[in-house]
Structure 1
């Protein structure tokens, strides 16, 4: 069973002006991330505008990522959807195409009590092979539902294929609580700026949207941490945090797409009703990124 670890890049989804997925650009982004040393790929999540995509488009993106990756990096497909049956179909598809596992966000928008949460995950997780791993995904500030440790414990008793949780909220106390749920239960944090602190707590890695644009400093953080050089890791985390702030900390995926364009990758447009950055906003972003790049060690930021 391959688990998520290290720099887990939450990939953007490039759309053309008509909202169609640009699969060739998806493949280019896989190559970009492989060459820059990230550890895992995580397409079709929040950064990938998942709820705005049609089911068939999500399947096309998942397949393009798996095919282009060719087993080089661990690849988990986010499959959570508003309709549980769609979630099941996406999870089964991810298994069929050879992904390493899936991520499944909690039910969203409509309030869900613990019993309904358990029922949802049991239904989805029992519809895929019990040796096909899944990570729960809790992002309460957007989903409007929170996944407590007690509820997770109930799910684990019924679903042996749960490998861990992606927690995309900057709550260190809850993150630490999650780490104590079970011995083999892994936690990956979604707050890019907390990568090093949460590694030190025992988390396996970060699911980072900002690393879709600038993977280099995050890779350096993880390399230094694995080598036991905490001071160097802190230095790289400080640099990573400057890029996180410049990129809006994941608050607007249009910033990521404009940043990728600055780096020479065609990231396409936002899916409606989201909109792209205005020209003056993009130019201001590029100016900021240029200034940050100039402060990086020579040769760190490579342009293809």
Structure 2
């Protein structure tokens, strides 16, 4: 049975830009990256024949994302008022799609997405929209959700000509981590990768709330590569007895496996969990920095 609902939001302006979005009052800005001279490949069609058709814009690029906690809005219910807002600003939709129709994994990892934790994309529940107001004046919206939150990404691209000049803007943000898609390429090349974005409480096996971009990337990979399986391997520093550290490291790996099963449609026989304790260090346990590096969960790629 299909049910429909009328959703009413209380809106609050959250960005001062000309093409600012008005989002629910519960929205929290996750990232703002403004580049006076950059480039953006605006998707104008779904993934097909090994590529995403795109319109390249060179000029001022504004990238923002928000997290909206609570509520039960679908991605379409969230997109609809935002689509109306940018239409009122003079933008015309030139491309719109939803998850599988966009190209699923290939579209998600073929288009620009702010790295986690700034943005989260559920490969089975996201919507994308491209719009144009004039030649060289475009923007895109990407919306996805977790069980408890909705994520919104907006990219505004305005072409800057040589005659207009380029404003000087000093950087105001710290560097962000590499995009999650780098993880997949490194996994294929090396056979194992440290999942550096995972967070555990000190001395505990409880995985943080996330979302974690690395797990999203792995879920997309395993979903499209039937010939492989993954093994999560936990590691600790050398503090404490070996038996206790092996138990802790395995329980952390099992927590990661459980999160994959809970949040993504991954078959249980495709992922395993093991623990090595302090038997496979990647740094010296004689220093604090070394011990921190050794406390990790890695993923290993194996043939199915």
* Superposition TM-score, scaled by structure 1 size: 0.25
Larger Rg: 2
Which structure has the highest helix share of the two? 1
Which structure has the highest strand share of the two? 2
